Amino acid sequence: MSVSQLQHTSSDPVFFAILEGNWNLIPPAFGRHKRSRKATGDAIVDAMLEIAAASKMRAAAIMRTEERFTISKCIRILDEMQGVDQAVYLFALDLFENPSAREIFISLKSERRLAWMQGKFRASTSSAA
């Protein structure tokens, strides 16, 4: 800071208020904005409500996904399929305990489901031997 700048600021009441630590003399437009406790509390409450709403929306989306890929829906589809021998059928019931397997099974086109199950069945019997 140059001498002329220091002389200019030393006559400024805000400069003296800062030097003396008397913050009450500094006008609000000087960059200090006090936020009331109520305003701060309201902001926190609003943020918490937004978090809660987002959490509820996420939980609802998960529930909708889980409802689409239920074990009972898989069994209903399995019972309607033709050409499923008993060993593959029983294997599929165990396979449906896995949520990812249920999603794959239901998402596959109907003509591919049996081949997928048979492939899983063969892979499990060959690895057990």
Domain borders along the chain are 1-33, 35-66, 69-128
Q: Give the pLDDT of residue 105.
A: 96
Question: Is residue 3 predicted with pLDDT exceeding 50?
Answer: no
Summarised one tens digit per residue, pLDDT across range 18-66 is 556 665 555 555 554 556 777 788 888 888 889 988 888 888 877 776 6
- How many beta carbons lie within 10 A of that of residue 79, not counting itself? 9
pLDDT tens readout for residues 61-91:
777 766 788 999 999 999 999 999 999 999 9
At residue 27, the pLDDT reads: 57
Q: What pLDDT score was predicted for residue 11?
A: 60
Instruction: Work out the mean pLDDT of the chain and round it to a whole number.
Output: 80
